[in-house]
Structure 1
Amino acid sequence: MSNASAKPTSRFNAYMALTMATIAMIVCFMAWSNFAPLAGQVATMFHLSVSERTLLLATPVLLGSILRIPMGIFSDKYGGKKVYILLMIFILIPLFMITKVHTFGMLLVAALFVGMAGTSFAVGVSYASAWFPAEKQGLALGIVAMGNMGNAVAALTLPWISKSQGFNMVYYTLMILTVIMIVLFAIFCREMPVDKSKTMLGALSVVKESSTWYLSLFYFLTFGLFVSFSNLTPTFLTTLFGVEQIQAGLYAALFGFICTIIRPVGGALADRYRPMSMLQWVFIGIAAFGLLITVTFHNQPLFIVGIVGVGLVAGFGNGVIFKMVPYVSKGNTGAVTGFVGAVGGLGGFFPPLVIGWIQSATGSYQLGIILLVVTAIICWYALWRHFIHGDVHIVQ
């Protein structure tokens, strides 16, 4: 039975799948982004340099990005419910490891494995999309992707838990939440329709579609911004303006919340209007707010305006882009989601490393933000050349 030919008839099952996939993603993203709001404390505990600190922040993003491709394919083939439950069981292992490590090297190993939590995006989108027709998937996928809010929830809660209950309690709390979600998912969710005849090679045929690569480039920018700035905002505020860790976490939570809550708005509007045209303004907006950030490194209020502006525009763009994903290759939503999501996740992996290296070499973050502006301009030109004035039209 294939996703394309068999749609579940129960509205309850559809909404339950959407709700549980979203909540589970929130918990997984809390685990995925756990180091960012605690970066200052971890840096002190392990005596980390700026480059080591940014390496730690980037490491979970690596595995959580690359493995979105097979996880999305497995979800299409074997069922999102099974894959989601197994994923959450695996996440418990590195969360426990973090409470026991005493060296930076072992901490990086745990950070790499906890990165698997980031693959929940591909699994969740594949699972939720199976229950809704294409004309409603812009809003539905925008809602399930609000699981990205886990970054904001982590920034809001983890520093407070660490300060009041201790560092290890952060990870015990994440483990408890994960176990709760495993139980709820097992009890309340039905398995999605799957096509067991699919092969890995067949699913990977989506790489032959030029639109897969263009959407990946665009998502590299928009989702990469969400991940990078969610992780880097506390570091920016503590190092540039001397903001206290818990307050910096609140600002990071605000960024993550804004970037996430606007995403279904982008998806819903993309259901009604031409998404390619809307994306032009997304890239222009990112470039404009990026330029604002580059000139406000000594002005905290305007700097925060730039950060929030980037979050709004990038989050909106995430919703627009994923409206187009199910149209690239019918019946391979998980594969396309995995590929596009993987490249987008890598957009969250490289910028913290590059910015850390640039800061170490120049003493400033400014050049790193200028590279962001250049990337936005490149994406705008690719969109204009391929979709706006080209002959490729995914969604009219």
Structure 2
Amino acid sequence: MDDSEVRGSPRQGLTSATLGFFIGFAGVVLYGPVASEFESAMGLSGLALGLLVAAPQLTGSLLRIPFGAWVDDVGPKRPFLVLLGLSIVGMGGLAVLLTVFYPDGLTMTLYPLVFLFGSLSGCGIAVFSVGTTQTAYWYPKDTQGTVLAVYAGLGNSSPGFFTLLLPIALGALGLTNAYLVWFGFLVVGTIAYAAIAVDPPSFQLRDGGLDAEASRERAKEYGQELFPGGDAFESIREAAAIRRTWVLVALFFTSFGGFLALTVWLPSYWTAVHGMDAQSAGALTAVAFTLLAALIRVPGGILSDRIGGEVTAVLSFVLVGVAALAVVTTRNYTIALWATISLAVGMGVANAAVFQLVPKYVPEAVGGASGLVGGLGAFGGFVVPPVLGVFVDVYGTAGYATGFAVFVVLAFVSVALSERLYNNQPTIAADAVPADD
């Protein structure tokens, strides 16, 4: 294979991965910012509403694991396009459903279809694990922290922007047209990714006819230092057999799963408890929680390196618990606002701390552990909102605030688990550094 046949550059790999992640990850807030529209049109209970706003997280979390592993076999571009393509199918189905039935015909009988299309739209969320690998394989080891922070930070910001924009689009265009515009954005963004994305050098060389060993050696000439490390699914199975992996999954369930859950639930909380309109509730959620929690992860990673991931996790989860307790016990707007900001800081920093601990506690299967922690931990974004909805069914409007007791409990358990890790630290730390989420 000639040198001229290796296309692209590290910057192009990072740019395309970040673009694809930004496009797909926006699906986190598919229903959350306009949940009141679906609630009133379909007459949803609290549990049904919680399940609906969490629908994208069902696929967005669980598909991270197999698609992240698939990258090592075929390269990142194909898995990326499959996930974004499934997301297009879901968004297109939702747009057609709204065009035909909204508002008068959108009844509870269509709930299974609305949930299905939401789940399909959430497939784009799972591109995180694919884009992480795409970025990592393009860059040398000594730049991984910086480039992955850029990738994760910019990509993670899309739910915040869409939480801001969707209610504005709702007011200007109406619900159906707002989703039609989103569908167009998703299609154009996927085409843009397909046009500029390039697989890392070793995959291009392998596709050009070189065997695995020759492609690795040749790819080093183009600056690639990280390569697939064997059977990815075997690494997952090995990590699953280690108890410490499941402790880290539980911690990430609270921090990142909690982040996803509150991103879709907070707009309903601000609307129901504090009487805000959908646009104001979306803006407040985006600025005070979603964007802040995403951006705070970078300094959270620095803090974890300096004082240790265990200590950082304990402090972060204590902050989460105190803030959640404040929401439960007061209806004061100012206190609730500061509690929301504290939740964002606590969860954002905890996200960085948990992944800092992965190579330390599961050095024998870092890749598999990262997949399980990232995928199953994110599953909290699907599990928690329906539980919050049950509080609404039981306590009425007050349940939107009382339900934060869930986070008090999760934070307490997470503090105990983090302290246990701290008191049982391994004597030898791993050298590998996993991808930040």
TM (norm. structure 1) is 0.88
Contact 1:139 1:267 in 2 (8 A): no
Q: Could you say which structure has the larger radius of gyration?
A: 2
In 1, Cα distance between equivalents of 2:89 and 2:32: 20
The AA in structure 2 aligned to 1:49 is S
Contact 2:248 2:373 in 1 (8 A): yes
Q: Is 1:29 equivalent to 2:36 in the alignment?
A: no
Q: Is 1:210 equivalent to 2:206 in the alignment?
A: no
In structure 2, the residue matched to 1:4 is none
Q: How does 1:176-325 map to 2 (within 5 A)?
A: 176-192=184-200, 193=202, 195=228, 198=231, 200-254=233-287, 255-296=289-330, 298-325=331-358
In 1, Cα distance between equivalents of 2:364 and 2:74: 17
Q: Is 1:162 equivalent to 2:170 in the alignment?
A: yes
Aligned residue pairs total: 384
The AA in structure 1 aligned to 2:294 is T
Q: Secondary structure of the equivalent of 1:48? A: coil
Q: Secondary structure of the equivalent of 1:130? A: helix
Deviations 1:248-268 (A, max 9, x none): 010111111101111122224
Percent identity over the alignment is 24
The worse-fitting range, judged by mean Cα deviation, of 44-53 and 277-286 is 44-53
Structure 1 residues 357 and 315: alpha-carbon distance in aligned structure 2, compared to 1, 3 A threshold: same
The structure 2 residue matched to 1:131, chosen from 126, 138, 152, is 138
In structure 1, the residue matched to 2:374 is 341
In structure 2, the residue matched to 1:352 is 385
In structure 2, the residue matched to 1:375 is 410
In structure 1, the residue matched to 2:149 is 142
Deviations 1:71-105 (A, max 9, x none): 11112332122211221122110101001224222
Q: How does 1:1-40 map to 2 (within 5 A)?
A: 13-40=9-36
Deviations 1:122-176 (A, max 9, x none): 2222222333455554444333222222211111111111221222222332233
Contact 2:88 2:186 in 1 (8 A): yes
The worse-fitting range, judged by mean Cα deviation, of 175-184 and 286-295 is 175-184
Structure 1 residues 347 and 58: alpha-carbon distance in aligned structure 2, compared to 1, 3 A threshold: same
In 2, Cα distance between equivalents of 1:72 and 1:330: 18
Q: Secondary structure of the equivalent of 1:191? A: coil
In 2, Cα distance between equivalents of 1:272 and 1:191: 35
In structure 1, the residue matched to 2:66 is 70
The worse-fitting range, judged by mean Cα deviation, of 216-225 and 41-50 is 41-50
In 1, Cα distance between equivalents of 2:344 and 2:128: 19
In 2, Cα distance between equivalents of 1:380 and 1:352: 22
Q: Secondary structure of the equivalent of 2:403? A: helix
Measure how far apart 1:13 and its partner are. 2.9
TM (norm. structure 2) is 0.80
Contact 2:388 2:406 in 1 (8 A): no
Structure 1 residues 48 and 41: alpha-carbon distance in aligned structure 2, compared to 1, 3 A threshold: same
Structure 1 residues 233 and 59: alpha-carbon distance in aligned structure 2, compared to 1, 3 A threshold: same
Measure how far apart 1:310 and its partner are. 0.4
The worse-fitting range, judged by mean Cα deviation, of 123-132 and 77-86 is 123-132
In 2, Cα distance between equivalents of 1:201 and 1:302: 48
Gaps in structure 2 of 5+ consecutive residues: 1-5, 102-109, 203-226, 432-437
Deviations 1:12-66 (A, max 9, x none): 8333333332232222122232100111112222232322211211222112212
Q: Is 1:120 equivalent to 2:154 in the alignment?
A: no
The AA in structure 2 aligned to 1:92 is I
In 1, Cα distance between equivalents of 2:141 and 2:244: 17
Measure how far apart 1:177 and its partner are. 2.4
Gaps in structure 1 of 5+ consecutive residues: 1-9
In 1, Cα distance between equivalents of 2:412 and 2:378: 20
In 2, Cα distance between equivalents of 1:184 and 1:320: 34
In structure 1, the residue matched to 2:420 is 385
Computed over aligned residues only, the root mean square deviation of the Cα atoms, in angstroms, reads 2.6
The worse-fitting range, judged by mean Cα deviation, of 129-138 and 26-35 is 129-138
In 1, Cα distance between equivalents of 2:364 and 2:148: 16
Structure 1 residues 232 and 171: alpha-carbon distance in aligned structure 2, compared to 1, 3 A threshold: same
Contact 1:206 1:329 in 2 (8 A): no
